[in-house]
Each structure stands twice: as C-alpha cells, then as structure tokens.
Structure 1
Amino acid sequence: MKMAKPKKVLKILLGIIIGVLCSQLFANTEHFCAPHFVVKSEKLVDDVDLVAGKSTPRSKNLLFVGVMTAEQFLPTRAKAVWNTWGQEVPGKMLIFSSENSTYDGIPLVSLPGIDDSYPPQKKSFTMLKYMHDNFIDQYEWFMRADDDVYVKSDKMEEFLRAIDSRKPLFIGQTGRGKKEEKGHLSLDTDENFCMGGPGMIMSRETLKRIAPYIEDCLVNLYTNHEDVEIGRCVRKFAGVSCTWNYEMQVIFHHTKNAEELYSGNLNRKEVHKAINLHPVKNHEHLYKLHTFIQGVKVQQALQKSVLLHRDIASSMKELGYRIQSVDSAHLGKDVLLFPVKQGQDQYLGDTSLLGVPVSINRYVPKNTSDVLEWELVSKVLYSYKDLQPKRRIGTSLKEGLDDVTREIMELINQYSKQRGRIIDFKEILYGYWRLNPLYGVDLILDLLLTYKKYRGHKMTVQVRRHAYVQQTFTGTFIREALPESPSNDNTIINKVFNHISNNLPPLLSFSSETSSEPLIHLLLPLSGRYETFVRFLHMYEEICIQNWEKTHLIIILFHTKDQPEEFNNTVKLVESVNDKIKNGFSGAYKNHQIIDVIEFGLNSSFARGVALQRAVDTLQDSDLMLFIDVDIAYDRTFLQRVRKNTVLGKSVYFPILYSLFNPKLLGKDISVIANNVPFFTTNNTDTNSGYWRSSGFGMASMYKKDYLALGGFDTNIQGWGKEDVMFFEEIVHRHTHKLVRCVDPGLVHIFHEVKCDASLAADQKIMCLGTQANTLGSLATVQKMYERYIKGKLR
C-alpha cells in the first residue's frame, strides 16, 4: 500500500479547512445567500405571541397570514384587523409595513428599505420572501391579505383543510383586468391572476417554487398592478394559475358598493355566503362586521343546542321518560343527565321546551282564549291585532322572513352541486305566521322558486314549494359588564366621598358626568288648551325643576281668537313659575333655567312647523333641542335617553311613544288617568289601554346644527300634521345621520279628542282621520262594544 505524499496530504487538509470556513461564512452572511432587498426582522415574533395578553397556540399550524398595510393605517385598519378576525386565525398573523413603522399592541414587522409608495409591488414581494424564509416549514398555507379585508377564520380553516396543500395551488378570485386594460397587462388568453383585494392564498409548494425567483419577478415588471405581477410570477415559476372557479366570486367576495353594504344592514346573502369580504375601508365597519359575524355564530350554536335537546328528548322517550321529567333523569346510579340546575352556571337549557319535536300541534291551547291566531303575510300584512287589518309588514318581521328564506334555500341547495342544479329564491307568494312567547314562531310559507339544471338536459323553470318552519326560543341571556374601579377606590375616604356624591342632587353632585350633561331645550308649540297646559307645567316642575334636570322650556304661544283669556292665563301661569325660579326661595327652583315664551300675533293661525322654527332661530348651533307637545307625559329616564341617543353630527332621536286610547270606552275618567301618568310610563303599557304609536314622528330630539343640515321643517305647511312626516322622510333619504327610532317606555301621549278640520288638504285629512281612528280603542274593546250594541238591538 502506497503512502500519500506529505505535500498532497497538506493540500487536501487545507482544502477541507477552507471549505468549512467558507460554508460558515456563507451561512452567516445574508448578502451571499439572498437577494439584496430581502431582510430578516431583528426581532422575530415567536409561534406564541404575547401581544395584548393574547396568544396563538402552536398546535394550529394551518395558515400564515401576512397583512400588508401602510404606516398611516396602523392605528385604524391594521389594529382593527388584529383585534377582530386576526385573533381567530388557525395559525399565525403578522402585519407588514414600511421601514421605521412602529405601533404597540399588534404583531408588526417593519421592512427595511421599504416605503409606503404605490403601487406596493416591492413591499408585497418582500413580504412573500419573508414568509418563505422564516415560516415555510411551519405552515401549510400562506395568505397575502390587505388591511381592508375581513376573513371568517373558522370558515377559512374548514375550506383549506379540505384541500391538499402538498400540491402547487394558487387560490383566490380570478382576475383578468378591466375592459379598458385588455391587451395592456401582457396576459395570454389562458393566463389570469388572483385579485389582491379579497386575498390570495398559496400552498407551501407554490411559495417554495417562486421564492428563489422573486428578485427576477421584481426586475421584470410589466404593469403597475401588484396582484397582476404576483400572478405572473406564480404562473412562470410555479406553473399554476389562479383558480378558474366561479364559486370563488362568492367565497372571496369583492363589491363595488362597499360603503352601502358594510354601513347598512349586514343581514344579506353575500355576507352570509362569503369567507372573505372586501373592501372594508372604514375600520369602524370592520368592528361592526365582526360583531355581526359573532352574532351569527351564536345563533348557529343555539340551533345546535336545540337539535341536541331534541335528540336527548327522543332518546330518553325510548327509555320510558316523559319530556317533562327529562331534567331529573339519571344515566346511571347517582349520575344525573342534567347535573346543573336552572339559574346556575353551565345550565344546559330546559329540554321540556327546547326538546319539543317539530310539529304543527306542539302547542295545545287549554281554552279558546289561549288559541293562537294566524296572521296572513302577502305583499302586506293582514293582522287581527289592529283596527286597520291591512298594513305594511314591519321591519322585524321582514328581517325574520329574510332569515328564514335564506336558511330554507341553504337546506334546499345543500346537495345542489352534486346533482347539477341550483334553486333560486324569487319571492314569498303568501304565508301565515303566529307567535307563541313560550315556544317560538310558527311559519307556513308558499315560496316561488326558480329551478335551474345546468348538467345533462339543461332547463330553467319556475316552481312553487310549501315550507313549514318553526323557530324555537332558547331563552333570554343577560350579561352584566361592570366598569373597572380605580386602584384606590377601596379606601375608606373614597367610599365616603362616593356615597356623599351619589346621594346629592345632580346640580350639587361632585360627579363630572352630571355636570357634563347637555342642556335640553324643550320646544313646545301651544294654542289654547289651558287646562292641559296646567297639567304639563305641573309635570315639568316635578320632573325637571325639582330634580335639578338641566332643561330649558321654550313655549311658542299662539293667541286664540275665540278664547283670549286662555292666552292671558297661560302667560300668568308661566310668570308665576318664573318668579319662583328667580327668587329661589325653594331649593328645588334655585339656579334653574327660566321658562321663555315666544308670542304669535292675533292674526296668526296655528302651524306647528312655523312655531318650532321660530324657537329654533333663538338657539345656538350647539344646543340640544327636544320637540314636544302639550299632551305628552314623560319621566326622567326619557330625558336620559334623549341625551344618549342624540349625538352632535351623528344621530337624531325619534322615539316611539305609548298613546292612550279613549278612556270613555274603557269606563275610566280621563282626569284620573292624566294624574297617574307615571303609573302608565312604567306598569300599564298594555294593548287595551293604548298602543305604540309607530306612525307618529312629532316627538324628536336633535342638535340645531344637525336640524339645519337636514333641511328643517317645511314652514309652508299650515294646519294639522304632515310637517314632521316630511322631515322624517327627508332624514331617511339623506343617509347623513344615524336615525335612532325605538320604543321609549318613559313616554306617554295622553288621550285627547282629535278634530279634523274640513279645510285641511286631502293628504293631511287622511292622516288626521287615521290618527282619530287609531286612538278610538283596541280591537278587543271595539269588538265588545259592537257585540253589546248588537245584542241590545236584538232584544
């Protein structure tokens, strides 16, 4: 055996040493290993991020989401993305911005050498390279997302887990460019790209294939469209195109009417069907959308609960248990089926209600008074509950029907794809519905549908289908959120101070909340009605003056030609109350606003809009106004709702008040009712005593600045009504302010005779007669009178 020469051995050893040194050098020198624009973050965010006290578990390694944003959007859009759907990503999310970008509370990566210039091609490609270099072996899918997209993370997880991530795939909504861009994007007839707005997803294999060539893709740009260039890069180096699938337009939803969609009613099929929703430019709309989606999840969970209770009830029935006794059933010795009882945490619900099987006879009335009447739903609603049987379908019922029809269509089309057909909803031809507060809602619907078969013998035909639907009430759930107390709030001094402050009258309290409450200017048009005004002013003294409420009453007083003494008596009454306020001899009147009176001349005919406008002109733009009538009774809770629901530049408040029926038909004295209004505002708002006046718009609160911006009242209208209806409709059409319209339990309209002048215009007269009929009495009361009258005649 020959020995190697010493010189040759030295050369070999020297080569090995040099090789080891070079490999170490190259391994630790980024410049030799990657394109010059790719950077490594100085501080990588670990798989478990302790950001804002929240964590992303290691076990979820399905999806890595890179959100591309700009420095100006970090506190708005980027923060909203992280605080909403970013908390539910089945993997990891990082937010990428330009060099030197900083913002606490979100997992931010600032890319050195990257600015916020548009188009963000370099930023996007750099982000993809960063994903590859740091996370390629940890996640199956990689998503490039904008900061104005909302992703249903649970639906995205369900969608991706059904796809083989080992294949080179490029998923998103297919784009081909706008019509005017045809021929200018350097795309062949069989080439496309995934639109960046709704989001684009790459499998691990796809990202692996394009990562080494990202610099080549950046050098060879053909357009200013970042998503087009990513699509071209994926096509060239990964050999795949964006998914050619029509369903992606639904799943990765993009709309041109985003402001209208996301600022309005979200209960639409687009929102329910999509996984990604884009663009949500307003970060407040992103929070609103997230709240809505979370509510949908709650509804789905409640539906699952109902189905489980039905399964339990049917199973226990086979074991000999009645549904009423299931809650006390035992699965074995000392093992209760429902160990937690009602009223305790973790209570699972009442099976005797939730477990009742679907049946048209699940509710059995014990006597005729318990029978549930059906109401007919067609183009309008035919209801037995109103004096006017034919009326429009209310918003709540309309939304409920939309929910029901959407769920019915989802069930019908559950296996449509396999069968090569689709069934579309057209309209409800007619239907019946009834409400049982104990069990829920029953619906019988006749649906007009369109049957479309697109496989085999293609056809399109209209069909009808009857549906019987039951919605089960699962119960009312209340969550009380208590405010956080200051750290030193438990000291004896603070407890004593708070006790004294909370028990002082509002004007003397140390509370900053009371002192910051806006002053409410009550604007009251008045013509005659002296006795009614005495009652109103007495109530104002009790509610506002004696309780130190920050209010200011302005009376617009018309001269009455036939009863001039009423005008004089009204003025004297106001002066007597003002004397009390000025003299301040009673603590209740001290430091309160005096009552102002604006007088109209003898020749002036009553016009509510003109009167209110006269009072409005005396106020400042920043003043809070409440339009009120002399027949109105209210309590302090109503005043608080006025302050909370009326926001300068944002919202106006049109409360729905409770209007009392004619007390004579009830066998009651109107004076007794009028003197016990607080009883009605809290305890007696039933269907026999009165009705919720949803068609009245005279009561309203808003700031003067908003009143002027919304156009104000039409002062050309004379006589009874209409000016408030026209003003309300104008606010609805403008869409500039939020219109708060809801039932207010602290507001009552006391009955008075409605007299419709024969000289009124036709439309005003119709409104007046309608109000006159509505205030007559409840349907049950009128029916009893009719029966009594007929029986008397028959005798």
Structure 2
Amino acid sequence: MYKLDSTLQSLNYQTTFYSSSSARISYTTKNNERNNVTSSPIRKCPATRTVPITTMARRRRLLKTLIGIIVGLFASRLFADECFWSGRSKPYRLIDDENRRAINKSLLFVGVMTAAKYLDGRARAVYDTWGREVPGKVMFFGGESAYAEHVPLVGLRGVDDEYPPQRKSFRMLKYMYDRFVDRYEWFVRADDDVYVRTDRLEELLRSVDSRKPWFIGQTGRGNTEEFGLLSLDDDENFCMGGPGVILSRETLKRIGPWLEECLDNLYTTHEDVELGRCVKKYAGISCTWSYEASDYSSMQVILYHNQSGNAAFSGDLKQKEVHRAITLHPVKQPQYMYRLHKYFKGLKIQNNQQKRVLLHRDIASSMQELGYRIDRVNAARLAPDLALFDQPRGSDGYLGDSSTLGVPAGLNRYVPQTLDEVLEWELICKTLYTHRDSNPRKRIGSSLKEGLGDVVREIMELINSFSRQRGRVIDFKEILYGYWRLDPSYGVDLILDMLLVYKKYRGHKMTVQVRRHAYVQQTFTGIFVREVEDYAHHDRNLVSSDSLPVHKQIVHKIFSKINEQLQPLLNFYDINESCINFIVPLSGRHAIFTRFAELYEEICLKTSENTNLYVVLYRNAEAPEDYNKTAQFLRDLSAKYPHRIVQTITPTGQFSRGKALQRGVDQLHQDSLMLFIDVDMVFDSGSLRRIRSNAVQQRKLYFPIVYSLYNPRFINASFSERAWIDPEQRPINDINGFWRQFGFGIASLYRSDYDRLGGFDLEISDWGNEDVAFYDNAVRSELRIVRSADPGLVHIYHPVRCDGIMDVNQKTMCSGTKASTLGSLRYLQALFLKYKDLFR
C-alpha cells in the first residue's frame, strides 16, 4: 500500500523550516534547478521583523536551527514523494521489494500506464506475470489520486485517468528522465493490456547499441480516415503505443528537457502520435521503419497487435504469430494475461527439456569413448569416489535416465528383438491409414492433428531462426504425406514430406514452392508422478484458522454449529453434489430390469447418493406379465426408501425410446441434471462423479463412450454378468468387448440445455436413430460436447432384433450394431481361417 508523487525526488528538493523565533531557515539541494521543472513553488511565510537577541538566545536559536535542518533532511528524505497525498499511510513494502529485485539489473526500466479501475485487475495481472521478470525495474503510473496495494504505483501530480492519456504518458517519461536516465540503458512505455516476453526483449536490446538514439516500435502513419490529418511530414511517423514503445537512454536524454514543452504544444489527441512528433523534433529520429513486410523479424511481427479486440488471445495460442512475438497486444482480460504467462512458461520448460536431452546425448557419446555402454552410463564413475550421476532416482537432484535420454537420434535407435516387437508405420495423407482399426482409412484424430501442428511449427521456427541474416523466409503450406510410429519406450518417429514456400526479399527477390523431407524424433523424457493437496479440504481448514479476523472466526463458528445440527436432516447426502435424475425407458424385460434396479439400490440408495430414478414403463404385448411385475417391484422399492424419489411413469401407446425419455424429462425442472440410460447398462460410483463433473449447465454435455460386450456364446466367454457389476473384477480388453465410439444413447445434460437443443425427434419410432439426430443438433450448437471412455459404464450384451424395422436407415444401423457385437476383428479373422471351407 503506497503511492508516490512524481514531482519531488529523494535528495532533490527544497524545504523550508520555521523556528519558534519566527526566523526563516532555507535549505536547497544541488539538484534543485532540474527539479523546478515539475515542482510547484513552495509557499513562503510573510516577512517578519527582526528583533535584538542576546548571545544565549543566538546559541539557542542556532541549536534549534541545526536540529531543524537534521529533522528536515530526514523528513524530506522519507516523505519527499508524499507531499501531496491525501493523508493515508502507505507502506513502501512493494517499492522496496521492487528496488531490491532490480538492484543489480540496469538494462531496462518499464513504465506501465494504468488507471484506477484497472489496478486490481489488469495492472495486478501484469505485475504478477511478466512484471516480476523484467531485467531491470518496472513501475506503474496512474493519476494523482491513484492508490494500490498490489503493484508499485506512482501517482503523477496533476494527472487524471481520462482518455487520451497524453499528460500521463509525457509526465511518466519525465519521471523516468528525472530519476533514472543514468541508471538504465533502455526505457519502455507500455500499457497495462500488453504482455511482454522479457527474455526475448532482453535478447533484442542487448544486440543494439543503447548509446545511439533509438525509437523502437510498430510504425504507424494513421488509419485511412486519419491519413494526412495528423500533421506528419512525409518522412515522419510514430510508434503505435499499444504494442509498446522502446527508447534508448540517448533518446530519452535528448527529449527529457523538452517533454513539458511538447505537452504544451499538441496537434492531435493521439498520445503516441505526439510522442513520435516530440522524438522527431528533439532527438532527430523516427520510429523504426518496416518496409520489408516479409521480413521474419519486422516490427509488425515482434511487436504483435491482434485485431480481435477483446477476444484477442482467448483461443488457440499455438500460432506462429504468438510464438514469434516479443510483445502481444491487447490483453483485455486479466485471465488471458495469466493464460499467456502459463503458456510461455510451458514453452520454456519444453526448451529446457530439449537442452537436457542434448546434454544427455553429449554425455553418453563421451562416455562411450571411455568404454561405457549406453545402458551403463548412469552407473559410471569419473573417479573411485566421484560418480557421474551422484543423485539416485527419486531424489530432487536426479538428472534422468541416460539410457533413454542419451540415445542418439536415428530411425534405428529402437531395435526390435522379435517379430511382435516391430513397430508399424501409419500413413498420413489427408486422412490416416492404419491397420489397427476395423476401418483402415479414418479421420486424423484431434490429438495426432495437434501433435503434427506442434512439430511443423517447431520445424519452421528452426528453419527460420537465421532468416533475417540470410534475407529470406520459408513459410509452411501443407503436409503432402507422412509416416509416423509410436514407441512407448523412446518416443515418436515422423517422416514428413512438406510443401514449403521460399521467399527471398534481398538481392534477387523471388518466391518459389519447394518440397522438403523432414525426419523428426520426439523423445519421451519419462513419466513423472506429482502429488497435489486436497485444495477443497485445505480451504475448509483455512476458514477456521486463527489467521482470519476475529469477527470472521466468530461467524464461522456459529455457522459451523448450525451446519452440524442440520446435517442429519439433509436427506443423508451431500447438498453440494448435483442430483442425478436417472431416466430409464422400459418395455418388458423384467429380469434385466431387476438386475439394473438391484445395482441402483446398491450404488445409489444404500450409500445415500444424491440421485432420483424415473422409470418410463410401457406395456409389452409379447410379455404382458412383465409390466405388472416391474410395476410392483418399483412400488416395493419406493416404499423401502420413502425419502428418495423412485417414480414410475406409465404412458400408453406403442413404445418409442425418444417419446419415453421425453416423458421422463417432463417431470423435471430446468435446473435438473439428467442421465439417459438403458436397463442393459451397469455403472459404478466413479461414473456418477464423472457425470457430475462433465455435464455443466449452459456449457457442456456429456456423451460417455461405454464399453460394450461381445456375444459371450460366440466368443466362448466364461465370465458371469456379476463380474461386470464389480468394477474391480471387470476384464476390459479387446477380446471381451469394444468401446462403442458411435453410440450416443447414454447421455447426461441439464433440462435447460435439452430444451435449448429442441429435444428428441418424437416422430422417430421403432429402433434407434433418435439419439443420433439429437447428437447432431448438439454438435451444431454452441455447447461443448465431452466424449471420453468411461470404464464404469458397461453395456451387457443382449440379442438385437431387426426384423420388425421398416425404415431403411434404421434397419441399416440396426444390422451394423448386430454385426459389431459378434466379436473382435481378430477373433472373426481366426474363425474365418479355421472354417474358411464353409464360406463361399
């Protein structure tokens, strides 16, 4: 909590003291002349008449004068920058922290302009992210009344937060000039909505001579409406303020004494235009021009302005523009600033991991010259009492397994010992061709597509790393074809045939398409297990800690006592868990429903899970007795658990799954969480947790991928149905069943989202297709769809009958489902080879 006034400086001040005898003592520092540029004159007392005094009185007055000077020096040193504050106390903690952090760093001073309404949001996000990594000092500048607790803030005298911030910008630069022009080599004028990659900026600035006048930024001449109206000559421009403006020490020295004059003679309302005019007039330089738009390192590239406005940097960050940039603008929301910072931290980790792999390879290569095999390097000793890797596996100082990380790059680094260990290559050519799937030609999955994008981007960054020196740039166009394989022990191998565009913009300019092969290997660095605290439990404990104010501790204890008294009355379940409403359509099949209901009782009713059960029961002409048995079973279950909802809905007419589910939906309110499920399914408590997590109202729908069993008679399976009810005994593999990728009947969502999507098509009758049509509507909506394999949801095999289906599409889907449940492709192939004489 602090605030500084920019008009006075430590040890650069004029103070006036008055003794009790009305004699005035005046003290002026050596640097007072320069401070008078911004300091207002100090009010003087009216002259007083001199009276005769004795020698003792003179000594007493002299002693008081000396004491006054000493106290004045101390007070002025402490409060020089506080003279015009409103009276609130402001600790200098963050100022001191910032000074200590920057004490040995003299490269860069960053001034960030902000306003009172952004201090707790954007300004704090800047200081919490890249602001703490500046190779020098960072300060925030606001209006005269600005006050902040979380950022080192300077309140500029005579400045408010109105837009345009011309006075704020010029006074901020004057503050830099008066206090720090001889301490730092470079000075940056930045806004609180820009992200700066400080390591990249340091690399750039250390390659430029700060003793020369430099005015670096993204060049501007005004937009179409303003062109010719900004009073700029043909050879004049300005650095646009948004992406940041960089001035060398020499430039600031030249314009510093004239900043007030520039501020008093403005031609436009644009702060960056007027700053550029001032620099041109008194420093004699313009903003760095970028005539060569194709230059890989042009100002438009490294000082990047996103045209998306408030939505900038809210989407995919894996873009070449983001990776090339030094500054990124605008970042209007604080969460996007933290998101960018986390992303760039991840890139640094990747770079360090790559360096680590290269070091391991160098070490392994060197040790091989001494006779060590690659799998023995970790145990090597440089001397009898000096191990090469002195820290054991599992310790904080463990450097990694060199037998994995030290293997040199090469397509033959993995050597199979048997035929089964041979790694198969898969072809990438617009689509993916693989032998691992029943459909050999399939769409490239999102994970593989994202991985290819990362690889291509890193390849192009490597190719273009020296493009500026060579006067050319190479752009990626497309992958013509490629091969890839995965080895869990070593990593991923890729062979890519890429179409590139070669552009030469120096000398003999040319643009031509070229094809290049890239051989890429991604090395796995190992699996790391990280334990995290139970933050929810930690937060609950934190509430009752003694660190809270006394009144909050009292309130917390009162509500804790009330909660303890009410907890037994809360229907035996956690009120913080969303209630899952099971909606089960049913016609006949009493024995199968009995299995489902017994499982529901075990998982939900006996354990007090927050769930309700709605069974939509139709009469079945083929099994009329099942209707009465099922209805009675439900009545008994409801009577056994009277505090829970077990409701039977008995519509009339012909059974239709879509209509049955709609009848269940009609029983619920808009904020109800629904689960569409069939009696053939088994589930466990883990499935319920995933349903609550993955179905979010107005945001996400959950369509789990269930494990579906093959026909046990066809594959001669000996397992019992009870084995699939117990999650610890389930033999999930590709022999017993398969993951139903194209099944959408099991779904979880909120009633309000169901209505927004228009619900099921109630015109669809007989078998299936209503879930596919509903899923298509969900895909076209703005809601996010969550699809993942759920090991807790298992579909027990039952015969599929397609005889009575009349619709062609439904009959085709039914036949396909019936065929897919026969057995695995491997088993069917073995069966065919065994009885191939019986097939035509």
Q: TM-score range by the shorter chain?
A: 0.7 to 0.9
1:781 paired residue number: 827
Matches of 2:730 and 2:102, distance apart in 1: 52
Deviation at 1:720, TM superposition (A): 4.5
Structure 1 contact 507–548 (Cα < 8 Å) conserved: no
Aligned residue among 251, 271, 282 for 1:206: 251
Q: Which segment is superposed worse, 758-767 or 101-110? A: 758-767
1:272 to 319, 323, 335: 323
Q: What is the SS of the residue equivalent to 1:50? A: helix
- The answer on 1:628 being equivalent to 2:688 is no
- Taking the TM superposition and a 5 Å limit, the aligned residue runs for 1:147-226 are 147-226=192-271
Partner-residue secondary structure (3-state), 1:612: helix
Residues 765 and 416 (structure 1 numbering): CA distance in 2 closer, same or farther, change over 3 Å? farther
Q: 1:272 corresponds to which letter in structure 2?
A: H
Q: Distance in 2 between matches of 1:578 and 1:76?
A: 53
Aligned to 1:585: none
Q: Which residue of structure 2 aligns with residue 586 of structure 1?
A: none
Most deviating of 717-726 and 780-789: 717-726
Question: How many angstroms apart in 2 are the aligned matches of 1:237 and 1:275?
Answer: 28
Measured in 2, the distance between the counterparts of 1:139 and 1:35 equals 24
Partner SS for 2:241:
coil
Farther off after superposition, 684-693 or 247-256: 684-693
2:713 matches 1:653: no
Contact preservation (8 Å) 1:69, 1:78: yes
Aligned to 2:58: none
- Aligned partner of 1:536 among 596, 608, 611: 596
Q: Deviations over 1:714-738 (max 9, x none)?
A: 4454455455445445555544x55
Deviations 1:718-772 (A, max 9, x none): 455455445445555544x554443433333333444557857666566555555
Residues 29 and 630 (structure 1), Cα distance of their counterparts in 2 relative to 1, 3 Å cut:
farther
For 1:760 and 1:65, locate their aligned partners in 2 and report how far apart those are by CA, in whole Å: 74
In the alignment, residue 32 of structure 1 is paired with which amino acid?
N
* Structure 2 contact 656–764 (Cα < 8 Å) conserved: no
1:744 aligned to 2:785? no
Q: 1:111 to 1:364 in 2, by over 3 A?
A: same
Out of 594, 598, 618, which is 1:558 matched to? Answer: 618
Give the match's secondary structure for 1:33. Answer: coil
Question: Which segment drifts farther, 361-370 or 768-777?
Answer: 768-777
Greater CA drift, 562-571 or 458-467:
562-571
Q: Tell me the amino acid that sits aligned with residue 367 of structure 2.
A: M
Give matches, 1:292-691, under 5 Å: 292-482=343-533, 483=535, 484=538, 486=542, 514-582=574-642, 591=643, 593-602=644-653, 604-608=654-658, 610-669=659-718, 672-679=719-726, 684-691=731-738
Q: CA deviation at 1:692?
A: 3.6
Amino acid aligned to 1:292: Y
Count of matched residue pairs: 745
Q: Whole-Å Cα distance in 1 between the matches of residues 606 and 492 of structure 2?
A: 46
SS at match of 2:494: strand
- For 1:233-281, what per-residue CA distance to the aligned partner results, in whole angstroms no more than 9, with x for missing partners? 2222222222113421111111122566522222222222212122222
Q: Which residue of 2 aligns with 1:12?
A: none
1:63 and 2:108 aligned: yes
Aligned residue number for residue 703 of structure 1:
750
Whole-angstrom distance in 1 between the partners of 2:234 and 2:770: 61
Q: Residue 4 of structure 1 corresponds to which residue in structure 2?
A: none
Deviation, structure 1 residue 712? 4.4
Contact 1:526 1:630 in 2 (8 A): yes
Partners in 1 of 2:336 and 2:191 — Cα distance? Answer: 15
Larger radius of gyration: 2
How far residue 308 of structure 1 moved from its aligned partner, in angstroms, is 0.9
Structure 1 position 696, deviation (Å) = 3.5
Indicate the RMSD between aligned Cα atoms, in angstroms.
Answer: 3.4
CA distance in 2, matches of 1:178, 1:313: 58
Counterpart in the other structure of 2:38: 34
**Which segment drifts farther, 357-366 or 118-127?**
118-127
**2-side partners of 1:49 and 1:790: how far apart?**
85
Distance 1:90 1:26, change over 3 A: closer
Equivalence map 1:746-785=2 (5 Å): 746-755=792-801, 768=814, 771-772=817-818, 774-785=820-831
Contact 1:376 1:432 in 2 (8 A): yes
Contact (CA 8 Å) 1:635, 1:681: kept in 2 or not? no
Alpha carbons 2:108, 2:137 under 8 Å: kept? yes
Q: Deviations over 1:17-48 (max 9, x none)?
A: xxxx99827855987332769x9843796897
Alpha-carbon distance in structure 2 between the residues aligned to 1:239 and 1:509: 80
Kept in 2, the 8 Å contact 1:26–1:32? The answer is no
Moved more, 547-556 or 739-748: 739-748
Contact kept, 8 Å, 1:681 with 1:747, in 2: the verdict is no
- 1:119 maps onto 2:164 in alignment: yes
Provide closer, same or farther for how the CA distance between residues 44 and 538 of structure 1 changes in structure 2, counting only shifts above 3 A.
closer
Q: State the partner residue of 1:146.
A: 191
Which residue in 2 is equivalent to 1:232?
277
**Which residue does 1:587 correspond to in 2?**
none
CA–CA distance in 1 between the matches of 2:775 and 2:217?
44
CA spacing shift, 1:489–1:415, aligned 2, 3 Å: closer
Deviates more, 1:282-291 or 1:659-668: 659-668
Aligned AA for 2:635?
Answer: E
From 122, 125, 134, the counterpart of 1:89: 134
Which piece of structure 1 moves more, 385-394 or 163-172?
Answer: 163-172
- Whether the aligned pair in 1 keeps the contact of 2:312 and 2:330 (CA below 8 Å) is no
Q: In the aligned structure 2, how far is the partner of 1:513 from the partner of 1:597?
A: 23
1:6 counterpart residue number: none
Note closer, same or farther for the CA distance 1:353–1:424 as it changes in structure 2 (3 Å cut): same
Superposed CA offset, 1:668-724 (max 9, x none): 15xx45322255578644333334444444433333334444554444544554554
CA deviation profile, 1:164-185 (whole Å, cap 9, x unmatched)? 2222111122222221222222
Task: Write the letter of the residue equivalent to 2:37.
Answer: C
C-alpha separation in 1, matches of 2:278 and 2:803: 78
* TM-fit CA distance, 1:606: 0.9
Structure 1 pair 225/766, CA: closer, same or farther in 2 (3 Å)? farther
Note the C-alpha offset of 1:336.
0.4
Distance 2:765 2:332 in 1: 45
Q: Taking structure 1 as reference, are residues 363 and 111 closer, same or farther at Cα in structure 2, changes over 3 Å only?
A: same
Closer, same or farther: CA 661–194 of 1 in aligned 2, 3 Å = farther
User: Structure 1 stretch 213-222 or stretch 513-522: which is displaced more?
Assistant: 513-522
| Greater Cα shift, 757-766 or 101-110 | 757-766
The residue aligned with 2:65 is none
1:638 Cα deviation from its structure 2 partner: 2.2
Contact 2:120 2:150 in 1 (8 A): no
Partner-residue secondary structure (3-state), 2:641: helix
Change (3 A) 1:147 1:544: same
Deviations 1:359-391 (CA, angstroms, capped at 9, x unpaired): 211111121111111111111111111111111
Alignment match, 1:9:
none
Partner Cα separation in structure 1 for residue 188 and residue 569 of structure 2: 56
User: In the TM superposition, what is the alpha-carbon distance from 1:399 to its structure 2 partner?
Assistant: 0.5
For the 8 Å contact 1:258–1:278, the answer to whether it is kept is no
